[in-house]
Amino acid sequence: MNTKEIYNALILGIRDYFKKNDFQKAVIGLSGGIDSSVACYLVVRALGSRNVTALLMPDLGTTSRQSIEDAKLIINKLRIHHHIIAINNAVDYFNAINKQLKFQKNIYAIANVKARARMTLLYYFANLNNALVIGTSDKSEIALGYTTKYGDNAADILVIGDLWKTEVIEMGTYLKVPKSILKKKPSAELIIGQTAEKELGASYEILDKILKMYIEEELSPEEIINKGFNKKIVKNIVERIRLNEHKRRTAMLIRVSERSFHGMEWRMPITNKFRG
Q: Are 81 and 107 in contact (CB under 8 A)?
A: no
Q: What percent of the chain has pLDDT over 90?
A: 79
Give the DSSP letter string of 193-245.
T--HHHHHTS-HHHHHHHHIIIIIS---HHHHHHTT--HHHHHHHHHHHHHTG
Q: Cα-Cα-Cα-Cα dihedral of 268, 273, 275, 276, to 10°?
A: -120
pLDDT of residue 263: 64
Annotated domain spans of the chain: 3-192
CA-nearest of 246, 240, 49, 5 to 143 is 240
3-state helix, strand, coil in the chain (%, to 5): 55, 10, 40
- In tens, the pLDDT along 78-106 reads 999 999 999 999 999 999 999 899 898 88
Residue 218 binned pLDDT confidence (cut-offs 50, 70, 90): very high
More confident residue, 166 or 197: 166
Provide the pairing of β-strand 52-56 with 25-29.
parallel
Q: What is the pLDDT of residues 193-209, one digit of tens each?
A: 777 788 888 999 999 99
pLDDT at 275 over 50: no
Domain 3-192: give its CATH code.
3.40.50.620
The pLDDT score that the predictor gives to residue 272 is 64
